[in-house]
Every structure is written in C-alpha cells, then in structure tokens.
Amino acid sequence: MKFLIFGLLGFFAVATEAKVEYTQTAKDCLSEINTDEDAMRSILNEDKLFPEDNELAVKFFECIYRSNINDNNEIVVDDKLKDYITQIISRRLEGKTESASAASIANDCLEHCKDRKGDSKGQTAIKVMNCVKERFVEYVNEKH
C-alpha cells in the first residue's frame, strides 16, 4: 500500500494500490479551482513534498484550509486539525505504535510546524504540511 498524503482537513487520503481517493470537501475544492482529481494527483506527488510554487496546488490548499488559516496567513491549530493529523499518522504507522503515541507525534509535528508561514493562505498550508511530513519522517527514522 502506498503511504497516505499528509494533512488536508478535507483531503482524506485512503491508501490504495491505484490512487488516493478524495473526500467530498476536496472534490468541491477541485471544482472551485476548475481542475480535476487526476490533474491534482499529478501535482501532489505522494512521495515528495507538496510544491509551494504551483498555482493550482496553492489554490487547492487555500480552499481546503480556509478555516485553519487566519488573515495573517498563520495556521490555526484546533482540535479538528489535531485529530485529523493524528488519524493520518495512526494509519501511517499501521499498528506499529499505540494511538496515544500517534496523538503525541501529531501534536509534536504541529507544534514544531505551526509557525511556518507563506505569502498566502495556500502557501502557509503547504509549508505547514510539508513541515509535518518532514517531521514525521524524522520521527520514523529515529525510531526504526
């Protein structure tokens, strides 16, 4: 199974052999920015960091993160975001650690990354999620 794409509130990634499935929220954002799932998949490569300079990716992340980015382009870490990142990390760990550990890792990742800031809401969201991905990889490399 391929790894889960990190951190989009409405971009609920399900690991499958073929491709990532999008939630309705993500599909609505794709429609809003006039693109489709295949085009976005080609931009958001699962194995790499999200591109900070791609206009469609920036618009997509901005749409997804509307409620978590304030007018100063700062991430707002709330319980919903913490729970979502915890779910993704828990799935990514695939039973290698207990859920309390996944919550602790998610909280650490968000605490470490919450000050990342871009020139727009979309760039801030991408920077934060790239940081979360990198921080999680550091954790995995330390523990295994």
Q: What is the pLDDT of residues 130-142, one digit of tens each?
A: 999 999 988 888 8
Which one is predicted more confidently, 3 or 138? 138
Distance of alpha carbon 14 from its chain centroid, rounded? 13
DSSP state of 119: S
> In the predicted model, what is the mean pLDDT of the chain?
82
Give the angle 20-23-24 at the CA atoms, nearest 5°.
140
Domains and CATH numbers, the chain: 24-143 (1.10.238.20)
DSSP state of 46: T
- The tens digit of pLDDT for each residue in 20-68 reads 567 788 899 999 999 999 999 999 876 789 999 999 999 999 998 889 9
pLDDT of residue 111: 96
